[in-house]
Amino acid sequence: MSIAIYPGSFDPVHLGHLDVIRRAAACFDKVWVCVMVNAEKKAPMFTPERRVELLRESVADIENVEVEAFDGLLASYAVSKGANVLVKGVRNATDFDQEYQMAAINRGICPGLETVLLPSSPACQHFSSTMVREMIKYGQPMEKYVPAPVAEELKRKERA
Ligand code: PNS
């Protein structure tokens, strides 16, 4: 059975993430989407628990995908799931440079742990959680950037 991990902050999950999840789900028997802490990113919009809930709602129609949070080393999480593949989405050369380094770090921690890079679909190439937050600030409609459960949550937040 081929098991892959798709890790990220997902704060919030956007349609670019969802595109990678769907494509990874078509390549592997099982995909664990893992909500993790990125030490570089401060002032989160959603708690990890809420991010997991929103992701679960967003991927409810994809049979072989499950979502969890994990606060630790990605390589340890992969071992605990019996996974030997990490999936990452790459939008541009900057992403590629970062992911190339992280792939080496993760393989250094856990030999045999491979990283598969999926190039963004053109429609999602400019999507990022940072961009989504910026669009929220200026009241832009969210439906074209984020899955429906996230758009609804953002509307609820706005009304509160
Ligand atoms: O969505 P992001 O913020 O780009 O995801 C980055 C993430 C969470 C995948 C990365 O920061 C990570 O792997 N964190 C877990 C800690 C870890 O294993 N670090 C070593 C690998 S660089």
Residue length of the chain? 160
pLDDT tens, residue by residue, 99-127: 999 999 999 999 999 999 999 999 999 99
Q: Which residues pair with 32 in a beta bridge?
A: 5, 66
Domain boundaries, the chain: 3-159
Q: Is 72 exposed, middle or buried (0-12, 13-18, 19+ CB in 10 A)?
A: exposed
How far, in Å, from the CA of 96 to the mean position of ligand 1?
A: 14
Q: How far is CA 65 from CA 16, 27, 73, 96, in A?
A: 16, 12, 21, 25
- For atom 9 of ligand 1, the residue with the nearest CA is 8
* Calpha distance 9→13 (Å, rounded): 8
* Calpha distance 74→107 (Å, rounded): 11
pLDDT tens, residue by residue, 42-64: 889 999 999 999 999 999 999 99
* Calpha distance 19→22 (Å, rounded): 5
The reply to whether 91 belongs to the active site is: yes
The reply to whether 107 belongs to the active site is: no
Check pocket membership of 38 for ligand 1, CB cut-off 6 A. yes
Which ligand 1 atom is the nearest neighbour of the CA of 37?
8
Residue 40 has what pLDDT? Answer: 87
**What's the whole-number mean pLDDT along residues 18-45?**
94
The reply to whether 129 belongs to the active site is: yes
Pick the CATH number of 3-159 from 3.90.870.10, 3.40.718.10, 2.20.70.10, 3.40.50.620: 3.40.50.620
* Calpha distance 123→105 (Å, rounded): 30
Check pocket membership of 102 for ligand 1, CB cut-off 6 A. yes
